[in-house]
Structure 1
Amino acid sequence: MPYVASDHTKNLDREALRQRIPGWGVDSDPADRPSHPRERTVPEDTGAHWTLPVLQEPREGREKSVEHSMLTPVFGTAQPLHGVSGAIRRYAYDRYSEGQTAHWLLLVVGDRVDAIGAHVKSLASRRPDDPITESGVLSELGHRPLSSRFGNQRADVKHNWLDPIIVLGPWVLAGVVAVRVVAKVVKH
């Protein structure tokens, strides 16, 4: 359910919470909170003039998490789901909660399927992708490629060895498959 202003007007028994939860309320005094001067304590000062925004016109097939009863008031429509990757993403939203790992793994799989489809479309077009120039590999030659790879300032040093496999692996695999297909066609 999207945010509704009235959800935060619950009356809590503060003393019962202090007894039940160790340390509850230690920041109740504004003097103990470092962010107090920046906090807004008056809800009317937020500038919101509604309790729930006007709902955007819903479109059929929009993905919605299973834990929410309705779509958010505003949602994107620029990239509609399509093809096999769209079916995988719809399944993730229809079947699993956002708190489950399977939901996110299916979204990643859908993204990879979409990327593979884009590569296949690129290879079938008159101007296919160029992994050498578009990956930025050539630009590293003039900018200390070895010392920047193995320096202490990089957070991704542990998986540097994976970069060539992830970037070039699919292209090498596609080349091997293409050579084998051409060899079989020529043989017959």
Structure 2
Amino acid sequence: MPYTSDKPGPVPDADALRARIPGWGADADPADRPAFPREQPGIVTGAHWDVPEQQVEAGSRERSVEHLRLTPVFGTAQPLQGVSGAIRRFAYERYSEGQTAHWLILVAGDRVDAITAHLRSFATARPDDPITQSGVLGERGRRPWASRIGRGRVDLKHSWLDPLLVVGPWVVTAVIATRIVLWAVRPRARN
């Protein structure tokens, strides 16, 4: 059972593991294992509980389908809300953490959350500025090409794509907004 103070069951014999797992036993010498003294049977863990006290759940919390219950302690600082929260809840209710769909849906929820935050910023006195806040101008005057070429940087292969990913959504949004405004302002042809 997870989240207990009990130690796990007995470890199989070293010879059985060596026969079953190729290359097993590289760290079998206790002198090479920093945690070895704590691994001995009969060591008192110091826990004053068998199962930790469950934190009170004020509202519904997301929980992976492979777990029977929430962990004893969980975060409550950023509760799920809005459309992005509904997307994330769907990922937790429907898919296991071992499935790619779970993580792709969570990424989609993050993108929806980011877009919502950008749209909310336009209703404030200081809306988002994609040029200065994205870091596009950050390397200007600081040898931008010399810091990339000849240094063995792994990200050099996709660096051409970074400006498109950072500025691209803003350009697409501006084009769509312009077309909507022109459509609304343009007099309609009367039949």
TM-score by length of 1: 0.84
Q: What is the distance in 2 between the residues matched to 1:156 and 1:47?
A: 47
Say whether residues 1:50 and 2:49 are aligned partners. Answer: yes
Aligned position for 1:28:
28
Say whether residues 1:126 and 2:125 are aligned partners. Answer: yes
Supply the AA of the counterpart residue of 1:102: A
Say whether residues 1:150 and 2:146 are aligned partners. Answer: no
Structure 1 spans left out of the alignment, 5+ residues: none
Aligned position for 2:35:
39
Aligned position for 1:66:
65
Q: What is the distance in 1 between the residues matched to 2:26 and 2:128?
A: 58
Deviations 1:48-85 (A, max 9, x none): 44343221112332000111111011111111111111
Aligned position for 1:139:
138
Deviations 1:69-121 (A, max 9, x none): 11011111111111111111111111111111111111101100111111111
Q: Which stretch of structure 1 is more off in the superposition, 109-118 or 2-11? A: 2-11
The count of aligned residue pairs is 184
Aligned position for 1:88:
87
* Kept after mapping to 2: 8 A contact 1:122/1:129: yes
Structure 2 spans left out of the alignment, 5+ residues: none
Aligned position for 1:114:
113
Aligned position for 1:8:
8
Of Structure 1 and Structure 2, the greater helix share is in 1
RMSD: 2.4
TM-score by length of 2: 0.83
Are residues 46 and 176 of structure 1, via their aligned partners in 2, closer, same or farther at CA, if it must alter by over 3 Å? same
| Residue aligned with 2:108, SS | helix
Aligned identity (percent) is 60
